[in-house]
A and B are shown apart, each in its own frame.
Chain A
């Protein structure tokens, strides 16, 4: 079995607690307007647009397929900026074993791994195998997900996953549809399932004031999750929309102020949440 791996970050401080190796899988099933790594959304169709643009000669065409030579890459991201299909020629097909070989180089400096995307839950079997390997080495295992795939249908995966960092991108179904192009009934269903089974590690709300009523959404999300918080505590992360990496048409939206972010934090702590981080 193989998965398309966008990249592996050896030391990450922003993908869960402590130092973790973060594995990004290619491909996503929704379309968030503020997506800051849109190149992870789709699988490369080998249109070849990027090949001639690469200043380092790291890309070539062979039998109708784009070939990427990592040793020549200078990480200028010209290919990603050029791609008309929200993809990257740099994603590599890898087995769980091959990915774990890369993860192992970071021992003993990391406490765990996090699989992210794209939407990594599009490849749940791959994650299960990778996590099984990680568990044998005593590493922590977290999933970073948009919550559109039902976790309850993958009990074997949940057995080897410590928890899920779940995006709740808007509480109202209409607003979620507007922000992501997808409904949120499954997201909330997942929140309930994960909360009840003690696998909800973190909930994230991206604050993009131009896109939806953030204050109302954070309030409703906080209220909805509160019974679950009483069962098992989790972290709340309030993430400010920032234009870096965002597609041009959505990159001039308003960035929330520190005051706004603090207001939401205070609102949540007023409800009794203790671990709230503003990013």
Chain B
């Protein structure tokens, strides 16, 4: 372990005291922040040369961002346990038998969630709820099942205090999903995040309609292109955290992101960006990710000692890592400006084409980089269109068109998106506020989803422009909770603070309503 300066120690001590005295953090949020501060004093990773000036610099110069993963990762960033094993066999470590009815099944899951770590210290994957619960759904009368599911969801919202906690349903319709929709429409809570894996061949119109009606009430579920994910990750994939496609029983060691707009600032021309600046930063980020993974696998002891690995709820060889990016739009627009060319990303063919060329370069790089611990994905990382951080200013999420610049017609926006979603097996997505007060026409949204998935879009979220629960970037928050936090009161979920930051810095409340 490398030494650090007393100056840094003193600065961190000051920050620790600020956390302890904070009026806006709950107890749980303080404990998490304190742990992060402790971890920040360590220097144990074998860092690549050149990283420091790309990573540890002011926000408008940062080319690589490690999304607060800390200096000594004690667990993988995202963990996606195979809960079906829990349903079938129970858990030795927690001394839980396999559940026999719906009461026991839900109770078993709620207990287990408390023991699934992640970068947020809360589980980012809550399981494929319909597959997990449908075998038990008829063990109680219908009314009881509906009530139990509702109480389960309420429990999750009030105890899993982070809306990156993600549950999946679909593509087959189920009673479980029906009860979830009915409950969520009434609860209007931010947690859990929810994805419906949609496959036109399996998901009925009735099911899709019920899901869309639910989404227009409480901003969930989102819709995942099941065929597309299956073709890349097999049937055993999950949607976790924001919208991250990962393998079941594994997860992601780490997620770092390229800040493409800031990399473009350093380039003298499009050519310089493509051949020098971008490859240089990609190389360092990949090496940094390799170093993080090496520590997690070889030194942290997580995979030897955590019960999830010991009992086989996860296995090391189903993990991969996410090679993220933000600001494709920012980079394209800046590079065109630098060359004195007109055209904006999302609007002009030449600009969109430059976006595609940049994505091809990133994709090629990733396909040529190998990591010995990413066997699950052929030794490669998976590309990820990262949605942004609360403190991001002037950074456009992933490959999205900046808010305020969305094309007048939704069809034009969808056609742009269809060029980019295919690059991101570990997640990308777009968000569409819908003016429900006029529409009363869920089939409108259904048609857009079906068309979009036929045109290789991966993941879509909708919410009604007047609902309390809204989708910030990939996660959900309640507008009412943001107002509470903004007036200086502590709020239960840590993602509310992220949403508030994003609403101030990322203009998420100003998306074009469709």
Do these two chains interact?
yes
Taking beta carbons and an 8 Å cutoff, which residues of A are in contact with B? 10-11, 13-14, 17-19, 105-111, 277-279
| B409: chain A residues within 8 A (beta carbon) | 10-11
Binds A, one of B133-141, B287-295, B349-357, B448-456: B448-456
The one of A19, A111, A279 in contact with B440, judged by C-beta atoms closer than 8 angstroms, is A279
Cβ-closest chain B residue relative to A9: B409
Query: Interface of chain A, helix or strand or loop or mixed?
Result: loop
Verify if B410 is at the interface (C-beta below 8 Å from A).
yes
**How long is the Cα–Cα vector from A110 to B438 in the complex, in angstroms?**
18
Verify if B411 is at the interface (C-beta below 8 Å from A).
yes
26 A–B contact pairs at CB < 8 A?
A10-B410, A10-B411, A11-B409, A11-B410, A11-B514, A13-B438, A13-B441, A14-B441, A17-B441, A18-B441, A18-B446, A19-B444, A19-B447, A19-B451, A107-B451, A108-B450, A108-B451, A108-B455, A109-B411, A109-B447, A109-B448, A109-B450, A109-B455, A110-B451, A111-B443, A279-B438
Is the beta-carbon distance between A109 and B441 smaller than 8 angstroms?
no
Verify if B439 is at the interface (C-beta below 8 Å from A).
yes
Verify if B96 is at the interface (C-beta below 8 Å from A).
no
Contact A11 B411, CB 8 Å, known A108-B451, A110-B447: yes
Contact A19 B438, CB 8 Å, known A108-B454, A109-B414, A109-B448: no
Cβ-closest chain B residue relative to A109: B451
The size bracket of the interface on B is 10 to 19
The one of A17, A105, A107 in contact with B443, judged by C-beta atoms closer than 8 angstroms, is A17
Is the beta-carbon distance between B440 and A277 smaller than 8 angstroms?
yes
Minimum CB–CB distance from A74 to chain B (whole Å) comes to: 11
| A18: chain B residues within 8 A (beta carbon) | 441, 443-444, 446-447
**How long is the Cα–Cα vector from A11 to B449 in the complex, in angstroms?**
13
| A278: chain B residues within 8 A (beta carbon) | 440
| B451: chain A residues within 8 A (beta carbon) | 19, 107-110
Contact A109 B443, CB 8 Å, known A10-B411, A13-B438: no
Cβ-closest chain B residue relative to A278: B440
| B450: chain A residues within 8 A (beta carbon) | 108-109
Interface residues of B in 424-458 (CB under 8 A from A): 438-441, 443-444, 446-448, 450-452, 454-455
Is the beta-carbon distance between A14 and B438 smaller than 8 angstroms?
yes
**How long is the Cα–Cα vector from A12 to B166 in the complex, in angstroms?**
32
Cβ-closest chain B residue relative to A11: B410
Query: Interface of chain B, helix or strand or loop or mixed?
Result: helix
**How long is the Cα–Cα vector from A108 to B447 in the complex, in angstroms?**
8
Minimum CB–CB distance from A101 to chain B (whole Å) comes to: 14
Is the beta-carbon distance between B452 and A13 smaller than 8 angstroms?
no
| A110: chain B residues within 8 A (beta carbon) | 447, 451
The one of A13, A105, A279 in contact with B444, judged by C-beta atoms closer than 8 angstroms, is A13
Q: How many A-B residue pairs have CB under 8 A?
A: 51
| B439: chain A residues within 8 A (beta carbon) | 13-14
| B443: chain A residues within 8 A (beta carbon) | 17-19, 111
Instruction: Pick the 4 closest A-B CB pairs, nearest first.
Output: A109-B451, A19-B447, A13-B444, A18-B443
| B411: chain A residues within 8 A (beta carbon) | 10-11, 105-106, 109
Taking beta carbons and an 8 Å cutoff, which residues of B are in contact with A? 409-411, 414, 438-441, 443-444, 446-448, 450-452, 454-455, 514
**How long is the Cα–Cα vector from A13 to B409 in the complex, in angstroms?**
13
**How long is the Cα–Cα vector from A18 to B439 in the complex, in angstroms?**
10
**How long is the Cα–Cα vector from A18 to B449 in the complex, in angstroms?**
11
Assuming A10-B411, A11-B411, what are 16 further A-B pairs, CB within 8 angstroms?
Answer: A11-B409, A11-B444, A14-B441, A17-B441, A17-B443, A18-B441, A18-B443, A18-B447, A19-B443, A19-B444, A19-B447, A106-B411, A107-B451, A108-B454, A109-B448, A279-B438
| B455: chain A residues within 8 A (beta carbon) | 108-109
| A105: chain B residues within 8 A (beta carbon) | 411
**How long is the Cα–Cα vector from A18 to B450 in the complex, in angstroms?**
11
**How long is the Cα–Cα vector from A195 to B438 in the complex, in angstroms?**
27
Minimum CB–CB distance from B24 to chain A (whole Å) comes to: 40
Cβ-closest chain B residue relative to A111: B447
| A17: chain B residues within 8 A (beta carbon) | 441, 443
| A111: chain B residues within 8 A (beta carbon) | 443, 447
| A13: chain B residues within 8 A (beta carbon) | 438-439, 441, 444
Cβ-closest chain A residue relative to B453: A108
Pick from B447, B451, B514 the residue with the most CB of A within 10 Å.
B447
Minimum CB–CB distance from A105 to chain B (whole Å) comes to: 6
**How long is the Cα–Cα vector from A106 to B441 in the complex, in angstroms?**
18
Contact A109 B452, CB 8 Å, known A10-B409, A11-B409, A14-B438: yes
**How long is the Cα–Cα vector from A157 to B216 in the complex, in angstroms?**
37
| A108: chain B residues within 8 A (beta carbon) | 450-451, 454-455
**How long is the Cα–Cα vector from A278 to B443 in the complex, in angstroms?**
16
**How long is the Cα–Cα vector from A223 to B451 in the complex, in angstroms?**
40
**How long is the Cα–Cα vector from A10 to B451 in the complex, in angstroms?**
14
Is the beta-carbon distance between A11 and B440 smaller than 8 angstroms?
no
Cβ-closest chain B residue relative to A13: B444
Is the beta-carbon distance between A19 and B448 smaller than 8 angstroms?
yes
**How long is the Cα–Cα vector from A105 to B443 in the complex, in angstroms?**
19
**How long is the Cα–Cα vector from A10 to B407 in the complex, in angstroms?**
13
**How long is the Cα–Cα vector from A277 to B439 in the complex, in angstroms?**
10
**How long is the Cα–Cα vector from A106 to B413 in the complex, in angstroms?**
12
**How long is the Cα–Cα vector from A109 to B451 in the complex, in angstroms?**
4
**How long is the Cα–Cα vector from A105 to B444 in the complex, in angstroms?**
17
**How long is the Cα–Cα vector from A108 to B444 in the complex, in angstroms?**
13
**How long is the Cα–Cα vector from A277 to B444 in the complex, in angstroms?**
15
Minimum CB–CB distance from B439 to chain A (whole Å) comes to: 4
| B514: chain A residues within 8 A (beta carbon) | 11
Minimum CB–CB distance from A100 to chain B (whole Å) comes to: 15
**How long is the Cα–Cα vector from A18 to B445 in the complex, in angstroms?**
7
Minimum CB–CB distance from A126 to chain B (whole Å) comes to: 23
**How long is the Cα–Cα vector from A14 to B451 in the complex, in angstroms?**
18
Minimum CB–CB distance from B453 to chain A (whole Å) comes to: 9
Minimum CB–CB distance from B443 to chain A (whole Å) comes to: 4
**How long is the Cα–Cα vector from A108 to B455 in the complex, in angstroms?**
8
**How long is the Cα–Cα vector from A169 to B454 in the complex, in angstroms?**
40
